[in-house]
Amino acid sequence: MKKEKFLFEKLGILSILILFFLTIQNKKEETIKASFIQEETDILLEKGYSLTQINEMMEYLNEENLNKILESNYTDLESFYKVPNFHFELLERYKAYRNLSNKSFENVVTEVNIHLDTPFYTDIKTIQNPEEITVLVNKYHALPKDYEPKDLTEIPSFPNLKLRKEVISDFENLLANALLDQVFLIPYSTYRSYEYQEELYNGYLEKEDQDIVDTYSARPGHSEHQTGLAIDIRSNSHWNSLTPEDYEWIKNNGYKYGFILRYSKGQEQITGYKEEPWHIRYVGIEHATKIHELNITWEEYYDLYLQ
């Protein structure tokens, strides 16, 4: 009994000592942490940030991103990190791009995210999700050479043309409702294989320089037509274009069936292509409606809402 009492007392004393040691250690760590934060605060104050801004940073930033700010001489970061689609790993690119323009912080962030701070057809990434309806195909994102949609289906009323199966019903609804408004639309180019796009692109190169061709034709692997989601349409009275009236109908109604005008006038800097009023792209009714309301490109929408 005395032995058990002694052991209990010994363990009790040991537990107290351990608890005391841990308390001292925690206080030491808290002191170090407080000192570390104070040191960071002093640096940020020297850079011109206010205490309010610093408190926001402490709440918003992880240690890695905070260190990037501490190492940077840039003192207007608040305007960047409050932009919803801001990525800290791109900070130096944001800074460099803004120095070249007078664009807003929001525009700088979005355009750098889209890669517009680099020349077209550089830093190309191979698309890993080509089957997704929301797939982004452009001059920075390429489809695999051997990619062909698994569900390619002939359009019933145009059996020589194929689209993704999911697109067929909405496209036929678009054609039918256009006809009710006396707009007779005809698709003339839908799915294209990599090989066909290569043949088409090389044919253009035989006639014009590449920098000109790149403004109106996609390089192989970079064409939306390879996804089976893009359609070139024409008016009944035109071989490969739309009348102004038919274009207006598409512009004002296409989104109701899940289609967007992919390359519109005034968006050349972002899309990399001249206006193509005949080129529509299926993204689904929800996304198409938002894009119509916001009047932005697919690239911008993808970065803001789908990344």
Residue type, position 83, single letter: V
Residue type, 162: K
Going by C-alpha positions, the residue among 254, 277, 257 that lies closest to residue 265 is 277
Q: Out of 9, 64, 276, 286, pick the active-site residue.
A: 276
Residue 276 falls in the annotated catalytic set: yes
3-state secondary structure of 159: strand
Give CA 118 to chain center in angstroms: 15
| Residue whose structure tokens are 């519109």 | 264
Beta partners for residue 231, in sequence order: 280
Q: What would the two tokens of residue 65 be?
A: 């991103």
The phi and psi torsions of 278 (rounded to 5 degrees) equal -90, -10
Please tell me the total number of residues recorded for the chain in this structure. Answer: 307
Beta strands in 54-93 (DSSP E): none
Do 191 and 225 contact (CB within 8 A), yes or no? yes
24 exposed, middle or buried (CB, 10 Å; 0-12, 13-18, 19+)? exposed
- Supply 144's token pair: 């695999």
In degrees, rounded to 5, the angle at the alpha carbon of residue 69 between the alpha carbons of residues 68 and 70 is 90
| Dihedral angle of Cα 280, 281, 287, 289, to the nearest 10 degrees | 10
| Residue type at position 260 | I
Catalytic residue numbers read 276
